[in-house]
Amino acid sequence: MEIRGLEESLPEAPLSGSDTVYVESDHVSIGYRSKRTGIYKPACSDLNFNIKRGEFVVIIGSSGCGKTTFLEAVAGLVPVTRGEIRIGGHAIKGPGKERSLVFQSPSLFPWRNVRDNVLFSLQAQRNLTPETKARAEDLIALVGLKDVMESYPHELSGGMKQRVNLARALVTQPQLLLLDEPFGALDAQTREMMQHELVRIWQAADLGEARNAIFITHDVEEAVFLADRILVFSKSPASLAADIRVELPRPRLPAHKRSPEFLKFQDLVLSYLYQGDSNPRESAEDSR
Ligand SMILES: Nc1ncnc2c1ncn2[C@@H]1O[C@H](COP(=O)(O)OP(=O)(O)O)[C@@H](O)[C@H]1O
Ligand SMILES: [Mg+2]
């Protein structure tokens, strides 16, 4: 089989392109206090890093390490215990219009068709105008669902539902898109296609200049494929184990996943992910 080198693909500017700091995680610790025993258990410990304008950041860590907790804190759904998360210089006090969250399970309204599920985000923000409605329909076309605009969730495949979910998150033109293992429940083939699609949609969507994404996964290949930058979280409680810039040209194609350069980044991430484990490969299997 011929493996094409990455250098053969067309060079394209990375998704990141600015020096302005957008998200600041300033010595953030987050934990939960048991209602029953009152005992405090840390989930994230002293997470300290900045994310620049325009960066597509992937956070990777093993199951239960505290990824969702951190993302929900950025979304304004979980309070931080110590430190501060700032967006555009402002400390987070709760959810905000400039952020959209995409969960693993699409949670669409079963009684609304595709179009109305997407329009719901606009209605919730009291921003349903002819202009935003047209934007919603453009987005539905962009995610490849033009032909099923009138269909209901039960008529859609898992991948299609996740496309609706994505359109619904993007229609409010968020400056910061937060994705929590959005493709985790999809079969391998659909997942691969959706990774590719996400980058395409991300680049083509009408979001203005400022666009940031924080994407969570426990899949190393997915992380390297998508990221401008990978933040590796340690085992629970999550601290920052590594901060890796993925210097692979774009567009990245699924075929590139077998190239030596790609595998090099994958090995690098793996080495930090399972730091201290006696048998990293075995642990990698365990965490799936
Ligand atoms: N609402 C909650 N109440 C108490 N403990 C929680 C809650 N949510 C998560 N945790 C705990 O915090 C830790 C990190 O969980 P989570 O952030 O979901 O990890 P990940 O997303 O990396 O799998 C786990 O030990 C989990 O049990
Ligand atoms: Mg999680």
At 215-237, the pLDDT tens digits run 999 999 999 999 999 999 999 99
Q: What confidence tens digit (pLDDT) does each residue in 105-129 have?
A: 888 999 999 999 999 999 999 999 9
Q: What confidence tens digit (pLDDT) does each residue in 144-161 have?
A: 999 999 999 999 999 999
Q: Is the CA virtual torsion 254, 255, 261, 262 positive or negative? A: positive
Q: Which domains does the chain have, with CATH numbers?
A: 14-98+176-186+218-288 (3.40.50.300)
The Cα 71–Cα 231 span in angstroms is 13
Q: Name the pTM for this structure.
A: 0.89
The Cα 6–Cα 283 span in angstroms is 29
Which amino acid is it at 245? Answer: R
Closest CA to ligand 1's atom 8: 69
Instruction: Kindly state the tokens that stand for 46.
Output: 């002293």
The Cα 114–Cα 168 span in angstroms is 9
The Cα 149–Cα 113 span in angstroms is 7
The answer to whether 107 touches 120, Cβ cutoff 8 Å, is: no
Name the residue of 34, 59, 68 to mutate for ligand 1: max ligand atoms within 8 A of Cβ: 68
The rounded mean pLDDT for the chain is: 89
**pLDDT band at residue 75 using 50, 70 and 90 as cut-offs:** very high
How much is the pLDDT for 205?
Answer: 82
How much is the pLDDT for 286?
Answer: 47
User: Which of ligand 1's atoms lies nearest the C-alpha of 71?
Assistant: 17
The answer to whether 201 touches 143, Cβ cutoff 8 Å, is: yes
**pLDDT band at residue 38 using 50, 70 and 90 as cut-offs:** very high
User: Which of ligand 1's atoms lies nearest the C-alpha of 61?
Assistant: 22
2 dihedral zone (left: phi>0; alpha: psi -120 to 50; beta): beta
Residue 6 clears pLDDT 80, i.e. is over it: no
User: Which of ligand 1's atoms lies nearest the C-alpha of 66?
Assistant: 17
